[in-house]
Amino acid sequence: MRKLLVSLFLLGSFGTVSFAMNPNKVEYDTPVTLQGTIQKENGYPMLLLTKPISTVLGTDSDGTYSPVERAQKIQIVWTKEKLPLGCVEVKGQLFGAHTAHHKTDVLIELESYKKCK
């Protein structure tokens, strides 16, 4: 029982980092890990999630982005090598659409990815 309580305390002390893949709710501008399928749509890479997520404003939010319910398609922002199509696990931070080049309400600024096992 003591190990369980210590583990819960330690997990709670990490703040708002989302460790679970495809959590239900994610704060904008917070590190997150998501799993889904990458496909191209009109030349833009998209991450299609198996289960929708909702975005919420963080405590330090300036109100630039609006919360989104049930986002299942997320545009990927990535300027490095070509992304593989198919199942991937991605790490990055979510943000809201704010230009005409943003094709979905929620986007992810990708930090890294790896193919699904």
Among 68, 64, 71, 79, CA closest to 109: 79
Question: Residue 45: what pLDDT?
Answer: 97
In a domain, 4, yes or no: no
Which residues constitute the domain of residue 83?
16-115
In a domain, 2, yes or no: no
Question: Residue 21: what pLDDT?
Answer: 67
Q: How many domains does the chain have?
A: 1
Contact present, 47 and 37 (Cβ < 8 Å): yes
Q: Collect the ranges in the chain with pLDDT lower than 70.
A: 1-21
In a domain, 6, yes or no: no
Contact present, 18 and 31 (Cβ < 8 Å): yes
Alpha-carbon torsion angle 18, 24, 29, 34, nearest 10? 70
In a domain, 5, yes or no: no
Q: Residue 73 is part of a domain; what is its CATH number?
A: 2.40.50
In a domain, 11, yes or no: no
Give the 3-state secondary structure of the chain: CHHHHHHHHHHHCCCCCECCCCCCEEECCCEEEEEEEEEEECCEEEEEEEEEEEEECCCCCCCCCCCEEEEEEEEEECCCCCCCCEEEEEEEEEEECCCCCCCCCEEEEEEEEEECC
In a domain, 54, yes or no: yes
pTM: 0.78
In a domain, 7, yes or no: no
In a domain, 69, yes or no: yes
